[in-house]
């Protein structure tokens, strides 16, 4: 991992970035910073683990059974936030990708925040708890207006640094459970 911070300014990732194919966006999000502004305080963490969910043919994707009230957000513009609850107690943060009406999203599984034990932000539920992300974010767009955005801080991740593995908790998804669509980096 190379930090070229001295060469670039922190840049908010534009919506156009998320319009590309989901797997490409997923790889390119590793090393970017998830930034949350709440109560006058800004918390930022480097994105270290993600999972991709791609369209209605991906049996692990919430949209595998088509458009429903719950999955409607996944059919929106790239850069829309999809936040839902699991186990009745944990929120999960996803970012919609690709073109409108093609339901794809990336689950942000872990970030590393300076000064906070990594285990506190390792896992989608823990991440949302620390960053105070809940259903109020569902349907909002990434950006300063929502108080949640992603920045490029000049860290370059080489393809050789990316670990690909099976997604977690999708044993029900037939052959799709074997897709290596979980992407992570070690920091």
Extents of the domains making up the chain: 2-184
Task: Measure the CA–CA gap between 157 and 130, rounded to whole angstroms.
Answer: 25
**Which pLDDT score is estimated for 90?**
93
DSSP 87: T
- The top-scoring range by mean pLDDT among 2-11, 50-59, 107-116 is 50-59
Q: State residue 6's pLDDT score.
A: 43
CA pair distance 116, 180, nearest whole angstrom: 29
- 94 close to 107: Cβ distance less than 8 angstroms: yes
Cα–Cα distance list, 59 to 55, 64, 151, 161 (Å): 9, 5, 31, 28
Give the whole-angstrom CA distance, residue 54 versus residue 145: 27
By C-alpha distance, which of 5, 61, 7, 6 is closest to 32? 5
Q: How confident is the model at residue 95 (pLDDT cuts 50, 70, 90)?
A: very high
- Predicted local confidence at residue 4, as pLDDT: 44
Q: Cα torsion at 45, 40, 88, 18 (round to 10°)? A: -50
How far is it, in rounded angstroms, from Cα 110 to Cα 118? Answer: 9
b/e for 86-106, b at 16 or more Cβ within 10 A? eeeeebbbbbbbbeeebbbbb
Phi, psi at 146, each rounded to 5° = -85, -15
What topology is assigned to 2-184 in CATH?
3-methyladenine DNA Glycosylase; Chain A (3.10.300)
Percent of the chain residues past pLDDT 70, beyond the cut: 95
Which of 28-32, 54-58, 96-100, 127-131 is least confident?
127-131
95 in helix, strand or coil?
strand
Banded model confidence at residue 123, pLDDT cuts 50, 70, 90: confident
- Rounded CA separation 187/182 (Å): 16
- Residues in the chain, how many? 187
Q: What is the mean pLDDT of residues 47-66?
A: 97
1-5, 90-94, 138-142: range with lowest mean pLDDT: 1-5
């Amino acid at each position: 991992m190379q930090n070229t911070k001295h060469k670039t300014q922190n840049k908010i990732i534009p919506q156009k970035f998320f319009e590309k194919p989901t797997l490409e966006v997923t790889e390119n999000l590793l090393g970017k910073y998830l930034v949350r502004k709440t109560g006058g305080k800004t918390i930022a963490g480097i994105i270290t683990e993600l999972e991709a969910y791609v369209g209605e043919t991906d049996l692990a994707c919430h949209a595998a059974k088509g458009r429903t009230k719950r999955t409607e957000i996944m059919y929106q513009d790239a850069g829309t936030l999809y936040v839902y609850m699991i186990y009745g107690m944990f929120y999960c943060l996803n970012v919609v990708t690709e073109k409108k009406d093609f339901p794809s999203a990336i689950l942000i599984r872990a970030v590393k925040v300076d000064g906070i034990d990594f285990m506190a932000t390792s896992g989608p539920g823990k991440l949302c708890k620390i960053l105070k992300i809940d259903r109020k974010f569902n349907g909002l767009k990434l950006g300063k207006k929502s108080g949640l955005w992603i920045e490029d801080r000049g860290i370059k991740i080489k393809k050789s640094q990316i670990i690909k593995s099976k997604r977690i908790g999708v044993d029900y998804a037939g052959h799709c459970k074997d897709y290596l669509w979980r992407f992570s980096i070690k920091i």
